[in-house]
Amino acid sequence: MSMQKKRIAIFASGRGSNAARLIEHFAGSTHGEIALVCSNDAAAPVLALAQGHNIETFAFTKEALYNGNEVLEKLKSSGIHLVALAGFILKIPTAIVEAYPLAITNIHPALLPRHGGKGMYGINVHRAVIAAGDAYSGITIHLIDGAYDQGTKLFQARVKVDAGDTAETLAAKVLELEHRFYPKVVEGLCQL
Residues serving a catalytic function are 108
Smallest gap from Cβ 107 to ligand GRF, in A, equals 4
* 108 interacts with ligand GRF by CB under 6 A: yes
Residue at shortest CB range from ligand GRF:
87
Distance between CA atoms of residues 36 and 189, nearest Å: 17
The interface with ligand GRF within residues 5-44 (CB under 6 A) comprises 12, 14-19
The interface with ligand GRF within residues 76-105 (CB under 6 A) comprises 86-87
Which of 10, 71, 92, 107 forms a contact with ligand GRF (CB under 6 A)? Answer: 107
The residue type found at 133 is G
Which residues are 86's β-sheet partners? Answer: none
- Contact predicate 190/31, CB 8 Å: yes
Which residues are 160's β-sheet partners? Answer: 136
Smallest gap from Cβ 183 to ligand GRF, in A, equals 12
Smallest gap from Cβ 108 to ligand GRF, in A, equals 5
Nearer to ligand GRF, 122 or 188 (CB): 122
156, with CB counted inside 10 A (0-12, 13-18, 19+), is middle
- Contact predicate 140/159, CB 8 Å: no
3-class SS at 190? helix
Binding site for ligand GRF (CB under 6 A): 12, 14-19, 86-87, 107-109, 121, 175, 178
